[in-house]
Amino acid sequence: MKVVYFLVAILALTSSVVSAYDPSPLQDFCVAAKEKDGVGSNVTQVFVDQLPGLNTLGIGLARIDFAPKGLNAPHTHPRGTEILIVLEGTLYVGFVTSNQDGNRLFTKVLNKGDVFVFPIGLIHFQLNVGYGNAAAIAALSSQNPGAITIANALFKANPPISSEVLTKAFQVDKSIIDYLQKQSWYDNNN
């Protein structure tokens, strides 16, 4: 009997109180909000860098969330064509053709369920013209389509592009280029 008491005493001294439970399921359905940038949109990318399983599959995905009047600034994907479907809201979208085609602008106002295609390498944009939030899914024909936001590339280059180059290219005073280079440019990609 002494052995039983001894074993119970040892067990009691070496044991800790353990409590285990599942966390509240409320968090399973919580959607984290990202900080808004200066243009009122947020792009959440799913490319090979975020999901290595996309390697060699030739596809990528992005979700674009827009605040009212939010803009996905003019940009290009040098390695992928984009097809966009509107999940909610109303978007004004467009792209500009190449110099050889006269830089023609193609635009359309899209509503929930509408689809639009942006050809590979062409500058394009999306603007929320509705009164509420908007959201869209972009599917791209590359696991790594790249994204070049035009304003960032020109005015936030590292090191900066010479003011002389930009002044001549845009045919404006140097003070305007200096002003633009001092601005906070957002790439809105996460």
Which residues make up each annotated binding site?
72, 75, 77, 82, 124
- Collapsing DSSP states into helix, strand and coil, what is residue 179? helix
Give the helix/strand (H/E) hosting 140. strand 134-140
Residue list, annotated binding site for oxalate: 72, 77, 82
Q: Token digits for 18?
A: 């353990």
Asked whether 108 and 117 are in contact (CB, 8 A), the reply is no
**Residues marked as binding for Mn(2+)?**
75, 77, 82, 124
The half-sphere exposure of 183 on its side-chain side, counting CA atoms within 13 A, is 16
If you search the block for the tokens 């285990």, which residue do you land on? 20
Six-digit token pair at 121? Answer: 């390498």
Q: What is the largest CA-CA distance in the chain?
A: 100
Among candidates 142, 143, 140, 110, which has minimal Cα distance to 127? 110
